[in-house]
Amino acid sequence: MNRLIPLGREGIDLECGDAAVFLCSNKASYVTGVLLPVDGGTWASGGWVRGSNGKWTLNEGLAFGG
């Protein structure tokens, strides 16, 4: 699983909570209508995965959620 996450690890609850606190704070007062993925860069990687050799490769047949 960690080879699918660019940061190389699963997130922790606190990291998701910190994002929620930010969105509820005055620092996010100008943030509207956006997605804030808290996923270690998985969404932004667009199908790139870390191979067994440690190098990044495009995995076109990758199925998420299954």
Q: What is the pLDDT of residue 62?
A: 53
Residue 66 has pLDDT above 50, yes or no: no
Whole-angstrom distance, CA of residue 41 vs CA of residue 46? 9
pLDDT tens per residue, range 23-64: 999 999 999 988 888 888 888 777 788 777 888 888 765 555
Q: Which residue has the higher pLDDT, 40 or 15?
A: 15
**Prediction pTM value:** 0.59
pLDDT on residue 58? 80
Predicted local distance difference test score (pLDDT) of residue 64: 54
**Count of C-beta atoms within a 10 Å radius of residue 4:** 17
User: Taking Cα atoms as reference points, which of 41, 44, 43, 38 lies closest to residue 17?
Assistant: 38
